[in-house]
């Protein structure tokens, strides 16, 4: 009975002590481990051989900090670039500095008659004198013309009532009744009719064009103050007062 219990226990201890092989690249791969064991024991390895190291170039290194000369296609590209730079350096530049002498090359500035030289004293003194300036000033005085102001043109009329003039000709504030209004539900009727206009100014023009302020045919002035749809003349009066 005791022997039967010890056998599973030994199996568990053996399983815990077993180390799983590390999977990865390089010398931890199973292929590398198998080839290494074969080399140590003198046995032949039948798997894929490992890739050997890349041959190191026998070309001598340059001085510390210097770049290695290009090879292959890079060498052809470097040669073509050096030839292009050499041909460019041998050409004479159109302006600026000459690379051979490092001296500035003088280039002629193209003349432009549209550029004024009035600030150049040497240029102006060659063609102008005090006498010529006095003659030019006198000529300017003779051709000087004074434009007399004219009357401001009158604003044209389009046949519609002028609400600005109406606001200036009245003095009663909004809500002060001056005209009698008869009927039922005047406020509700005014709200429905005023909603048809895009602004209070348009409603006031329509109100005056249809007999206002004495008569209110469309029910736009229920309180009888002469102002339709809450139109306010105060801004026009304030503008004239200021």
Give CA separation, 128 vs 11, 115, 132, 185, 230, in Å. Answer: 120, 18, 6, 88, 72
Q: Is the pLDDT of residue 73 over 70?
A: no
Which is more confidently placed, 56 or 141? 141
Residue 200's pLDDT is 94
| DSSP element (H, E) containing 79 | helix 73-90
Once rounded to an integer, what is the mean pLDDT over residues 105-133? 72
Among candidate residues 241, 215, 239, 242, the one with its CA nearest the CA of residue 228 = 215
Among candidate residues 23, 22, 46, the one with its CA nearest the CA of residue 34 = 46
CB 38 within 8 A of CB 44: yes
Calculate the CA 86 to chain-centre distance: 44
Distance (Å, whole) CA 226 – CA 220? 9
Q: Which residue has the tokens 């010398």?
A: 27
Confidence of residue 132 (pLDDT cuts 50, 70, 90): confident
Distance (Å, whole) CA 220 – CA 212? 10
Residue 24's pLDDT is 46
Q: Which residue has the tokens 């180390």?
A: 19
Among candidate residues 196, 206, 198, 200, the one with its CA nearest the CA of residue 160 = 206
Tally of helices (H runs) and strands (E runs) in the chain: 9, 2
Please tell me the least confidently modeled range out of 11-25, 127-141, 226-240: 11-25
CB 231 within 8 A of CB 220: no
pLDDT digit string, tens, across residues 75-87: 666 677 777 666 6
pTM higher than 0.95: no
- The count of C-alpha atoms lying within 13 angstroms of the C-alpha of 89, restricted to the half-sphere facing its C-beta, is 10
Distance (Å, whole) CA 166 – CA 233? 8
Between CA 102 and CA 105, with CA 104 as vertex, the angle to 5 degrees is 115
Residue 241's pLDDT is 81
Residue 182's pLDDT is 87
């Amino acid at each position: 009975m005791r022997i039967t219990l010890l056998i599973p226990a030994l199996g568990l201890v053996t399983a815990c002590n077993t180390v799983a092989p590390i999977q990865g690249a390089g010398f931890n791969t199973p292929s590398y481990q198998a080839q290494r064991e074969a080399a140590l024991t003198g046995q032949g390895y039948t798997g894929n051989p490992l890739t050997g190291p890349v041959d190191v170039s026998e070309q001598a290194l340059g001085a510390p900090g210097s770049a290695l000369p290009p090879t292959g296609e890079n060498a052809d590209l470097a040669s073509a670039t050096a030839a292009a730079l050499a041909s460019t350096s041998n050409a004479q530049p159109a302006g600026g500095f000459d690379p051979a002498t490092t001296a500035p090359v003088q280039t002629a500035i193209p003349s432009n008659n549209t550029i004024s030289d009035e600030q150049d004293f040497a240029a102006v003194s060659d063609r102008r004198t005090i006498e010529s300036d006095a003659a030019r000033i006198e000529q300017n005085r003779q051709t000087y013309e004074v434009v007399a102001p004219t009357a401001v043109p009158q604003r044209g009329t389009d046949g519609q009532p002028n609400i600005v003039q109406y606001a200036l000709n009245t003095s009663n504030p909004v809500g002060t009744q001056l005209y009698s209004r008869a009927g039922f539900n005047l406020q509700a009727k005014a709200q429905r009719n005023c909603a048809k206009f895009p602004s209070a100014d348009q409603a006031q023009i329509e109100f005056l064009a249809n007999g206002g302020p004495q008569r209110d045919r469309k029910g736009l002035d229920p309180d009888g103050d002469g102002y339709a749809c809450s139109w306010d003349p105060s801004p026009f009066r304030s503008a004239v007062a200021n």
